[in-house]
Amino acid sequence: MVLFMPWQLSAFLASDRFGPDEQAALPPFLAGSGSKVGQAGTLPREWRLSRYANPGSVNRDDLEANLIPMDGLAGVTGARHRMPSLLLRAALAGSTISQVAYAYTQANVASPFMYKNVDPIVFPGQYGVSHMHSFFGSDAVTASTNTSAELQKGCTTADNPNDFSVYWVPSLLYTKDNGQTYDYVPVMRFSAYYNLGETPAEIPIPQDVKMVAGSSSATTAADSPADAKVEWFCEGDDGGSADENGFPSSTCSTHLQTLLYFPQCVNQDTLETAYKSRSYGTDNWCPEGSKSMPQLRFSIRYDLRKVLPDGWSGTAPIKLASGNAWSSHGDFIMGWTEDAAQNMVDATAADYKYHYYAVDGKLGTAGTEPTCTATDADPDNGTSDYAESVKEMSKRSTPMGWTSRSRMARA
């Protein structure tokens, strides 16, 4: 434990987790009061530790996101070291915390390269049974993709030429005619953040790892897996309380943003993944036989101003292809080259203080814009038309798959 002074805020933001003792020392508005504080630079929306299954363990990124939008500038060392308000510094002065620092890296994608009703994890090799997804990363993905090697044969849309991972989420849709028709909300930026671990991470993310975070069957906040920390909010402003579907109840002045966290433990033999928990009783908080790896986090910004210039008040005229905001989930198949994946961990071995690390590899340097043009690797199967995908799903008799069960979209 150390005494936390106002000028030590950067160390506080670098703290990875808060134990029960540290939580007890936090100010009331951080410890679950749910109060809202001030303007930009303070807490722009409610902060409730009680949202999580383990309230004594809160990820630092959640705290950052509630201070101010700290997720970019991409590729700029120290860009997330923004000065918080005097109010917040004063409120935190005197708190006691454990200072465990870690670094992060990220890969950014400007927009989806494909909308398609396939899901190689939940419904491998099948068509017409999945809701619509937005795909980012390697364009080698098909309904049957199963390995990292397959993805590494494609064109990556990420701004790191060593990242051939494929990332996908249920497509976000909007309506201007009270639900008669829907179209895709444009993505301003998709960012895949990799938090490099507390000590740091013990191993790289193994080749061929597949992960799903969140639950497509969730219809309420209580249904959504606590460890995934699903959240929707207006970037940099209040956006009002959540509507009945979990989206902001009033117009976002900037971007609509969502966050989603993936497991950070993996068994290298079985490739089974898990979230960290003290309940495992291990030094690394992972299940027996598992190692800690960089934790993946999705941060997605949507530009609703282009498609809904008049905004809204009350129920937002948007939905996910899987349902309401609580059904938010994400899928990932590992595609980083092995050398870059190792560099991701090695970069923090000697000095893992909190800041951005550019992860380079044999194929180039981080921050390199794609030079190839991504295309659908399987254009003759599946559809990118949302209305058609709903019709196809209505005919399905296929059992639901994976552990986060896919649910039918509402027309």
pLDDT tens for 162-206 read 999 999 999 999 999 999 999 999 999 999 999 876 566 899 999
pLDDT band at 316 (very low <50, low <70, confident <90, very high): very high
Q: Average pLDDT of 240-250?
A: 88
Say if residue 81 is in the same domain as residue 140: no
Say if residue 264 is in the same domain as residue 119: yes
**97, 131, 151 - which closes a domain:** 97
- pLDDT surpasses 50 at 47: no
- pLDDT surpasses 80 at 135: yes
51 phi/psi in degrees, rounded to 5: -65, -25
- Please work out, in degrees rounded to the nearest 5, the angle formed at the alpha carbon of residue 239 by the alpha carbons of 317 and 356: 110
Does residue 292 contact residue 203 with C-beta atoms inside 8 Å? yes
Least confidently predicted of 176-185, 261-270, 399-408: 399-408
Higher pLDDT, 380 or 86: 380
Say if residue 69 is in the same domain as residue 27: yes
Say if residue 113 is in the same domain as residue 230: yes
Q: Where are the alpha helices (DSSP H) in 133-275?
A: 148-151
Say if residue 163 is in the same domain as residue 247: yes
**97, 119, 144 - which closes a domain:** 97
Distance between CA atoms of residues 235 and 144, nearest Å: 36
pLDDT at res. 164: 99
pLDDT band at 102 (very low <50, low <70, confident <90, very high): low
pLDDT band at 86 (very low <50, low <70, confident <90, very high): very low
174: how many CB neighbours lie within 10 A of its CB?
19
Domain count across the chain: 2
Say if residue 24 is in the same domain as residue 152: no
Higher pLDDT, 17 or 170: 170
Say if residue 117 is in the same domain as residue 43: no
- Contacts for 397-401 with beta carbons within 8 Å, 24 or more apart? 398/123, 398/126, 398/129, 400/122, 401/122, 401/123, 401/124
pLDDT at res. 332: 99
pLDDT at res. 396: 61
408 strand-pairing partners:
none
Q: Average pLDDT of 399-409?
A: 34
Q: List the domain range (segments joined by +) for residue 81.
A: 2-97
Distance between CA atoms of residues 116 and 409, nearest Å: 14
Say if residue 158 is in the same domain as residue 9: no
Q: What is the strand order of the sheet 265-266 is part of?
A: 273-274, 265-266, 291-292
**55, 74, 97 - which closes a domain:** 97
pLDDT band at 236 (very low <50, low <70, confident <90, very high): confident
Say if residue 12 is in the same domain as residue 145: no
Say if residue 289 is in the same domain as residue 400: yes
Integer CA distances (angstroms), 161 to 22, 154, 156, 359, 396, in order: 41, 11, 7, 10, 38
Distance between CA atoms of residues 405 and 9, nearest Å: 41
Say if residue 281 is in the same domain as residue 312: yes
Say if residue 394 is in the same domain as residue 308: yes
- pLDDT surpasses 90 at 398: no
pLDDT at res. 352: 52
